[in-house]
Amino acid sequence: IIYDSKRVKLVSQGSTRLSEIREADNDRYLAWATFQQLSSGKQFFFGNIHLEPTNDAAGKTDFHNLRRKQAQEVMASIRKNNPKNLPVILVGDLNSYRWTAPTNAPYDVFLTAGLVDHLGMAYGTQYTQPGADVERRVNTWYSSYNGYALAAPRLKYLNGTYIDYILTTPMRMGEYENVLSVNHTTGNFIPVISGLDVPIPSDHN
């Protein structure tokens, strides 16, 4: 969790290890922190997650339900470590999206627990759904996962394909930006170093 110490003060922090199926897999965590906004004195709770990315086409290992369980553990940890019931901002890679079969399990857990998806990415829909209350969109039609592709993946709808989310307790969302640099003539990503064939720095926007 990186923060601007000129704007917020770190009050407390910690992490919670999430469940896994195979010991050989990378450990997964909720990293969390409570911050105080210097300008107002108000506090909020911030969490960052990266849920299990593995899928099993043969269906021998249930990674779908593992992500559901990890999401449940994330919410339990938030409740435990946020006793003042401060506003919550939860970000991260769910490794699940609105067309994941059979469901977008972690997303469902978070919204059932009261978090809000300000982009309105309901399951199986190409269009925004109730809760899409963001006031200004910037590049939200581009997908959050890009796979280091030359062309920036995008949809013709307001929401691209997102496995990365910003979910919050109910609050105003003035602007939501999917941060990326694209040549709007070619549709390709702009290289990190101008004039050189250098890949973009991440496979996620």
What is the DSSP secondary structure assignment for residue 50, as one 8-state letter? E
pLDDT (tens digit per residue) in 111-142: 999 999 999 998 988 877 777 999 999 999 99
Q: What is the CA radius of gyration of the chain?
A: 18
Mean pLDDT, residues 61-87 taken together: 95
Q: What is the pLDDT of residue 31?
A: 98
Structure tokens at 71: 């999401």
How high is the pLDDT of residue 127?
78
- Indicate the pLDDT class of residue 202, thresholds 50, 70 and 90: confident
Confidence class for position 22, pLDDT limits 50, 70, 90: confident
Residue 139 CA, chain-centre distance (Å), reads: 15
What pLDDT does residue 60 have?
62
More confident: 2 or 25:
2
Q: What is the pTM of this model?
A: 0.92
Quick: pLDDT tens for 157-201: 889 999 999 999 999 999 999 999 898 898 999 877 666 666 678
Q: Are 112 and 74 in contact (CB under 8 A)?
A: no
| Pairwise CA distance, residues 123 & 137, whole Å | 20
Strands (E), the chain: 8-17, 29-37, 43-50, 88-93, 116-117, 137-138, 164-168, 176-177
What's the first-to-final CA gap in the chain, in angstroms?
17
Confidence of residue 65 (pLDDT cuts 50, 70, 90): very high
